[in-house]
Structure 1
Amino acid sequence: MRRLAVELYGTRVGWLEGVDPRTADFRADPGAIETFGLASTMVSESLPLVPRPPARRAARRVNVFVELLPEGDNRAALAAMAGLRVDDSIGLLARFGRDVAGALQLWDVDDPTEPRHPSLEPVSETEIARILDDVRRAPLGNLRDLGKTSLAGVQQKIVLVRQGVRWFRPIGGYASTHIVKVAASATPTMLADEWLGHELARRVGLATHSADLVDIAGVPALVVERFDRHAAAPDGRLHQEDMNQALGASGNEKYQRFGGVVTLDRIDQLVQHRLGPDARVALIRRVALTVAMGDLDAHAKNMGVMHFPDGGASLAPSYDTVPLAHQRNDGEVALAVAGEYRHAAITLDMIVEQFGGTDVVRAEVVQTVERVRDAVRVLGDDDRRHPAVVPDIVQFSENLLAGRPAGLSAARGR
């Protein structure tokens, strides 16, 4: 049986014990309960810290940690690197749980090499380009023996540390500060499209962390600052969880179509009851942005909750906001708005209805859509972006503001 120590903000919060997610469980440390308070949800909204948790919710507790692992090819590559089965979630967490999304750190107490002493390895742009080129064999840029990083998601990426103008590779679980993404050959404009989505989120007040399109020794890349890292925080990390973790959803349940575990109603309830009015305004703006820009992949793992060292919580900044309606896909949003999945059919009234239909909600939605329209006009076209993306976002926004469904104009023939 594996026994993984789980740490948060310098405190041992408990142990993840077992060999299989179906039979494993999390046990809270009494000291953590004393530090953070009885029934604290500092680790996760799905995992209150109590001395005797109900056995029937063990799977939900374990899911909080399993959801820290990547999906698809990235997970398969991590497993291959570690010589583990793809479904050995506990083993993968033992191997790669030192630097994950948020501020949790997991490590195997029976591993004689633990706890590691994190360090940095300087890397040049040429070396970064080589790491990016080798990302399938070295997922997330992990070194075979010393890499300790796991990030959820399916997109090819690596993590690095930036100090001033210098870049470093994190060793042994050192807190990475930036994510570097490369585009797939099938979607060469994706990086520039994602930069646009991030910039729109920033301009409507939903993000403050940076994102930059760069050329790294001839390799086009998108460098995204990690919003869950801060020099003043313990170990340089700020804790966050995604909505899959917070609501007990697993894997593809991040899409409402897969079982209906996650919905905007459930997210809204959590935000209202646990995070407060400012977070709800941010959620309303996020959904308005999603529809106005045609972000069809705004699923539960692309929304999250921040848990701060002082016990406060908020909605996480917007991340992975990407206009996708111009791509070949089913045209559906990840989470239905007022029961409607078809992006082209969603109206501004539906967004308002989704959040209660009040005049205050309407004002927030209208203001957000107006900001999206105005910002995308100012940003204009860029040869690196898909030629349809800016005209589409302008059209979506104008349709919504005119009371029409968001869908593209008939004149475009789509």
Structure 2
Amino acid sequence: MPDKELLVYMDGVRAGAIRQTPQRNTTFSYDDDYRQRPDATPLSVSMPLTQERHLSRVILPFMQGLLPDNEARLARLALDYQTTTKPFALLTHVGRDVAGAIQLLPPGVDADDTAVGHGDIDRLSDGDFSDLVRNIVENPDTWGMRSGSEGCWSLPGAQPKVALFQFPDGAWGIPRDATPTTHIIKTAIYPYVDHGVTEHVTMGAAKRLGLEVADHSILTTVAGDQVFISQRYDRAKIKGQWHRLHQEDFAQALSVAPAKKYESYGGPGIEQIAVVLRDSIADLADRRRAQEQFFGALVFNIFSGSTEAHAKNYSLLLRGRTVKLAPLYDLATHATNLSLTPLKSAMKFGSEYRISVIGMKHLLVAARRLSLDATWAAHRVIEIGNGLVKAFTDAADGVANPVAPKIVQAISTLAGQRGLPTN
């Protein structure tokens, strides 16, 4: 029985092939022509171009990271496409549009990517879009897809979401060819019915405190469902043509399976991420910006009670030999849940996970791990702490949802417990 093969394209250019033996041993090999290109982008910092072939322990976690981190969703995909939940099997069907610049396509399927040609997009009416959102709300395991009728895309993460293309006039569309999706739409799913508002306000607060975040907004459908919309930072329109920009999360960069995304589950922590930033970003100015941005995110997540800042919620942007820290995404305070359970950080500071205990001394140790000046780091901690409540207040202003002021009040309570300004 011959090996199975998935061809890997980087923004329309063939980069190599993933091969799986009948025993399901999976490898990835770069094409020689691609490796010799001066502008070649590696699939991952864990799979350098200097090495032609990469083994299963590296390529398999990378592939897993392209798929939903949700067993029910994986099972539904397998049912829809009459296949197994194994990454190779699923990506054979949904690898046309994934995170980053790559496409994974079976042999014989044209890579009609943006670099080659595109434009076959089904335009959705307001009612169509509303129905799509309502379908996710009522059938969260579908993530808006019914046997491939809503496009051949895959998104990582556990929360139900859908990837769509947005036309210049604001209308939504479903690509039928390899046109990249440009936005990610998250719906309100029980019991996290207010999560979209929480994410919107938290992201807005982070931006006001000087952190780079993905562009985002909130929209209400004609049926009254409120959705959180994140503009994809791994897509860009260049000279009138949409292109994919390559990215990977830190679990992929460190060859860690999504199931181990939390440090307490054996996943990466601050020190491992610091090493990746140090070793993969050659430009000193870019490296310093990445270290400072990551440190700011760590401080913000602790002070805001954001508990989901694990390795899959930080990413790298890769372009040729250049590596940068991607804009922040999936930021969401859990301050409104203070009465339910003590808040824990997704990454430990020293040996401490409890957010209420993590303070200046823990944060300065993290700064040292990131090779940051202690005086600068202490100033940044104070700056974020002093501006926290105002940033959330400003971010919540104008949000037409009753949960917005509750978020601000919860953040004020959290700040007060730390002795930070409460207004």
TM-score bucket of the superposed structures, by smaller chain: 0.7 to 0.9
Aligned equivalents of 2:20 and 2:176: distance in 1?
27
Task: From 331, 351, 357, give the equivalent of 1:345.
Answer: 357
Pair 1:371-2:387 in alignment: yes
Residue 171 of structure 1: aligned partner: 176
Is 1:158 equivalent to 2:162 in the alignment? yes
**Of 410, 414, 418, the match for 1:392:** 410
* Paired residue type of 2:90: L
1:101 corresponds in structure 2 to: 99
Within a 5 Å distance, the mapping from 1:30-41 to structure 2 comes to 30-36=32-38
Per-residue deviation, 1:185? 2.2
Query: For 1:140-171, what per-residue CA distance to the aligned partner results, in whole angstroms no more than 9, with x for missing partners?
Result: 54662672100001111111111222221122
Separation of aligned partners in 2, 1:134 and 1:342: 38
Shift of the 402–385 alpha-carbon distance from structure 1 to 2, 3 Å rule, reads closer
RMSD, aligned α-carbons = 2.6
Match of 1:288 among 287, 291, 299: 299
Distance 1:80 1:190 in 2: 28
How far residue 58 of structure 1 moved from its aligned partner, in angstroms, is: 3.0
TM score, norm. by length of structure 1? 0.87
Amino acid at match of 1:385: V
Where do residues 122-137 of structure 1 align in structure 2 (5 Å cutoff)?
122-135=123-136, 136=139
Alpha-carbon separation, structure 2, partners of 1:365 and 1:22: 48
Out of 308, 318, 332, which is 1:297 matched to? 308
> Counterparts of 2:367 and 2:406 in 1: how far apart (Å)?
30
1:156–1:380 distance in 2 versus 1, CA, 3 Å: closer
Q: CA deviation at 1:19?
A: 5.4
Look up the match of 1:9. 11
3-state DSSP class of the match of 2:5? Answer: strand
1:44 aligns with 2:44: yes
| TM-score where L is the length of structure 2 | 0.86
Residues 209 and 388 in structure 2, CA contact (< 8 A), matched pair in contact too: yes
1:262 corresponds to? 268
Alignment deviations for residues 216-256 of structure 1 (CA, whole Å, 9 cap, x no partner): 11221112111111101875211110011011110221100
Report deviation, 1:20.
Answer: 7.5
Change (3 A) 1:128 1:141: farther
Pair 177,22 (structure 1): closer, same or farther in 2 beyond 3 Å: same
- Report which stretch shifted further, 320-329 or 380-389: 380-389
- In the alignment, the residues of structure 2 paired with residue 311 and residue 145 of structure 1 have an alpha-carbon distance, to the nearest angstrom, of 37
Alignment identity in percent?
23
Larger mean Cα displacement after TM superposition, 143-152 or 77-86: 143-152
d(CA) in 1 for partners of 2:420 and 2:133? 44
CA distance in 2 between counterparts of 1:139 and 1:277 reads: 38
Letter in 2 for 1:12: R
Q: Match of 2:317? A: 306
Q: Does the 8 Å contact 1:189/1:384 carry over to 2?
A: no
User: Which of 317, 324, 340 lines up with 2:327 in the alignment?
Assistant: 317
Quote the residue 2:284 is aligned against: none
Q: Secondary structure at the match of 1:257?
A: helix
Residue range with higher mean Cα deviation, 391-400 or 173-182: 391-400
Give the match's secondary structure for 1:333.
strand
| From 172, 191, 210, the counterpart of 1:186 | 191
Relative contact order higher in (CA < 8 Å, ≥ 6 apart): 2
Structure 2 residue 361 is matched with structure 1 residue 361: no
Q: Which runs of 5+ in 1 are unaligned?
A: 409-414
Which region of structure 1 is more displaced relative to structure 2, 338-347 or 283-292? 338-347
Deviation at 1:401, TM superposition (A): 6.1
Residue 331 in structure 1 maps to residue 343 in structure 2: yes
Cα displacement (A) at 1:41: 6.6
Please give the per-residue CA displacement for 1:342-396, whole angstroms capped at 9, x wherever unaligned. Answer: 1121113311221217112112222233332321233457643266421232343
CA contact (8 A) 2:26 2:59 kept: no
Give per-residue Cα distances to partners, 1:88-120, cap 9 Å, x unaligned. Answer: 2101111111111111111011xx554457520
Distance 1:329 1:33, change over 3 A: farther
CA separation of 1:392 and 1:24: change in aligned 2, threshold 3 A: same
Question: In structure 1, what residue type is equivalent to 2:96?
Answer: R
Amino acid at match of 1:185: Y
8 Å Cα contact 1:296-1:325 kept in structure 2: no
Cα 1:4–1:183, aligned 2, differ >3 Å: closer, same or farther? same
Measured after TM superposition, the shift of residue 129 of structure 1 is 1.5
Alignment of 1:197-212 (within 5 A): 197-212=202-217
1:319, CA displacement in angstroms? 0.1
1:60 pairs with 2:58: yes
CA distance in 2, matches of 1:395, 1:96: 44
Rate the CA distance shift 1:142–1:46 in 2: closer, same or farther, 3 A. Answer: farther
Residue pair 1:2, 1:18 contacting (<8 A) in 2 also: yes
Residue equivalent to 1:246: 253
Any unmatched runs of 5+ in structure 2? 282-286
CA contact (8 A) 1:21 1:89 kept: no
Query: CA 1:27/1:176 → structure 2, altered by over 3 Å: closer, same or farther?
Result: same
**Is the 1:41–1:47 Cα contact (8 Å) retained in structure 2?**
no
Gap change, CA 1:384 and 1:47, over 3 Å in 2:
farther
Q: What secondary structure is seen at the aligned counterpart in 2 of 1:164?
A: coil
Any conservation in 1 of the 2:9–2:15 contact (CA below 8 Å)?
A: yes
- 1:268-311 per-residue CA deviation (whole Å, 9 max, x = no partner) reads 12112323111000001110111111110111111010112x53
Q: Judging changes above 3 Å, is the alpha-carbon distance between structure 1 residues 20 and 307 closer, same or farther for their aligned structure 2 residues?
A: farther
SS at structure 1 position matched to 2:383? helix
Q: 1:332 to 1:157 in 2, by over 3 A?
A: same
